[in-house]
Structure 1
Amino acid sequence: MGDGPPLRDQCQGCSSLSYDQEWQRAFGVKLCLMCKANDDLVSKGHAKELFQLTDADFKKLGSLSKANPRHKDWTAMRLYLQSQVEAAAHKKYGSAEGIEEHRRSQLEARLEAKAKKRTRTLQADAKEADKLARIRRRIETDAGPLVASSGQLAGTEGRRELAQGVVEEL
Structure 2
Amino acid sequence: MASPPPASSDLTVPSTSTTSSGDSTAKTDSHSTTTTNAPSIPYEESVGRHVSRKELPADVQARIERNRLAALERRAKYQKRLDSERSIAQQFGEVLPLPSLASAGGESGAGYLTSAIIEKNAAEIHKAMEEVEPLPKNEWTKFYDYDLSKMKDTRAGFIQVIDDDKKRDAEDENSKKRKWEPTLAQPDPSIFLGADDNYECQDCTSIDVDFQLLRYFHVPVCIGCRDAQPEKYSLLTKTECRADYLLTDPELRDTDLFSFWERPNPKKSTWNNMMLYLRCQVEEFAFKKWGGPEGLDKEFEKREREKEARKEVKFKKELRDLRNKTRTSVWQDKRMQQRPKIHKHNFGTALVDPESGASVQTCVECGIQVECEEF
**Counterpart in 1 of 2:219?**
29
The amino acid across from 1:95 in the alignment is G
**Counterpart in 1 of 2:323?**
126
* Secondary structure in 1 matching 2:219: coil
CA distance in 1, matches of 2:288, 2:251: 11
Structure of higher RCO (CA pairs closer than 8 Å, 6+ residues apart) = 1
The amino acid across from 2:238 in the alignment is K
The percentage of aligned residue pairs carrying the same residue is 24
Deviations 1:36-90 (A, max 9, x none): 5442212222232222222122123121133455x34554432110000001101
CA distance in 2, matches of 1:78, 1:102: 25
**Counterpart in 2 of 1:10?**
199
* Alignment of structure 1 residues 21-170 onto 2, 5 Å: 21-37=211-227, 38=229, 39-59=233-253, 60-69=257-266, 71-72=267-268, 75-142=272-339, 144-146=340-342, 149=343, 151-152=344-345
Larger helix percent:
1
| Residue ranges of structure 2 left out of the alignment (5+ in a row) | 1-195, 348-375
Could you say what the CA RMSD is over the residues aligned between the two structures, in angstroms?
2.9
The amino acid across from 1:48 in the alignment is R
Q: 1:64 to 1:153 in 2, by over 3 A?
A: farther
Contact 1:68 1:75 in 2 (8 A): yes
**Counterpart in 1 of 2:171?**
none
Q: 1:36 to 1:153 in 2, by over 3 A?
A: farther
Shift of 1:19: 5.0
Q: 1:139 to 1:8 in 2, by over 3 A?
A: farther
TM-score, structure 1 normalization: 0.68
Count of matched residue positions in the alignment of Structure 1 and Structure 2: 143
CA distance in 2, matches of 1:86, 1:139: 67
The amino acid across from 2:323 in the alignment is A
Shift of 1:135: 1.6
The amino acid across from 1:43 in the alignment is T
* Secondary structure in 1 matching 2:332: helix
Shift of 1:22: 4.0
Shift of 1:96: 0.2
Q: 1:152 to 1:22 in 2, by over 3 A?
A: same
* Secondary structure in 2 matching 1:42: strand
CA distance in 2, matches of 1:11, 1:43: 27
* Secondary structure in 1 matching 2:341: helix
CA distance in 2, matches of 1:120, 1:96: 36
TM-score, structure 2 normalization: 0.34
